[in-house]
Amino acid sequence: EAITPDMLRDALKAKHYEAVTIVHNETSTGVQNPVEELCRVVHETSPDTLILVDAVSSLGGVKIDMDACGIDFLLTSSQKCLALPPGLALASASDRAMKKAESVTNRGWYFDLLLMEKHRIKDSTPMTPAMPLIFALDFQLDRILAEGLDARFARHTAMSKKVQDWCMAHGMEPLAKPEYRSRTVVTVKNDLKWDISALNKFLKTRDMRIANGYGKLKDLSFRVATMGETSLKDIDMLLEGFADFMKQ
């Protein structure tokens, strides 16, 4: 279930919070929370509350206008929509978040935003970073800009819609409500009672695999990643795989 603006408004009215954390995109349920509306509610209801957004599985695949939304801290990692190996965490902090960091006396060292910022303005880092991934990021950002951000976002939307449409046409409903469906991962109720491990064994012969449902949703749902460098052609191949699996 998505976090609705009303749920958030009620919570903020009931109690004061220093910060609100929002997961933009839930890979287990395939829910994309309405981050713009949620941010608006925070600004209207509790203006001094900081907004921290986990965009781990969406940044680079879905547009997030940090400044327009008034997000104070936006976090992602390298191995999702940026399509790099894991190992890097990337974040952006608002002026307000930096100001707040100044008031924190025990910031530690490894995650001290002020220390990071001090080095960032010298085009440096406080510690030796994972250089292979920095080089890879530099290369991949050029590729992402070459594709174009709008084109990249449109591709993610088209891929996820294609998977959703195919599943619905074959009698399986996405778990999330229509207005909250993720564009980077599609989580579908396993209404046809597919044997997911048998499906993956079949898909493996074509060098593909999907993910089983997570935790309690195991075998009750399955998940298709529609992110990163996956193309519409890849999605077509996967759906063809689904169709052939059904014929068996």
Where helices occur in the chain by DSSP H, the ranges are 5-14, 35-45, 66-69, 95-102, 113-120, 131-147, 149-169, 196-204, 232-247
Q: How many residues bind its own copies (CB under 8 A)?
A: 15
Cβ neighbours of residue 56 closer than 8 Å, sequence gap 6 or more? 25, 75, 76, 77, 80
Residue 35 beta carbon to its own copies: minimum distance, rounded to whole angstroms = 23
Q: How far is the CB of 228 from its own copies (least distance, A)?
A: 14
Rounded (5°) CA angle 167-174-183: 95
Beta-bridge partner residues of 9: none
Q: Would you say 25 or 164 has its CB closer to its own copies?
A: 25
Touching its own copies, residues 21-60 (CB under 8 A) = none
Choose between 68 and 131: whose C-beta lies nearer to its own copies. Answer: 131
The yes or no reply on residue 85 touching its own copies (CB under 8 A) is yes
When the beta carbons of 33 and 77 are compared against its own copies, the nearer one is 77
The nearer residue to its own copies, 86 or 148, going by C-beta atoms, is 86
Side by side, the strands of the sheet bearing 211-212 are: 185-189, 221-225, 211-212
**Which SS3 state, helix, strand or coil, does residue 48 take?**
coil
- The structure tokens listed for 140 are 């991949």
Stretch that binds its own copies, among 28-36, 39-47, 83-91, 154-162 (CB under 8 A): 83-91
Among 29, 32, 76, 77, binds its own copies (CB under 8 A): 77
Does position 139 interact with its own copies (CB under 8 A)? The reply is: no
Burial class of residue 208 (count of CB atoms within 10 Å of its CB; 0-12, 13-18, 19+) = middle
Q: How far is the CB of 110 from its own copies (least distance, A)?
A: 7
Q: Which of 21, 44, 86, 104 binds its own copies (CB under 8 A)?
A: 86
Specify whether the CB–CB gap between 49 and 20 falls below 8 A. yes
Of 87, 126, 214, 220, the residue at the interface with its own copies (CB under 8 A) is: 87
Residues 6+ apart with CB under 8 A from 83: 60, 140, 227, 228, 229
Q: Based on CB atoms, which residue is closest to its own copies, 70 or 87?
A: 87
Site string for its own copies, 91-130 (x = CB under 8 A): -----------------x-xx----------------xxx
Pairing relationship of beta strands 50-54 and 89-93 according to DSSP bridges: unpaired
Stretch of 37-45, 80-88, 161-169, 183-191 contacting its own copies, by CB under 8 A: 80-88
Positions that interact with its own copies (CB under 8 A): 77, 79, 85-88, 108, 110-111, 128-133
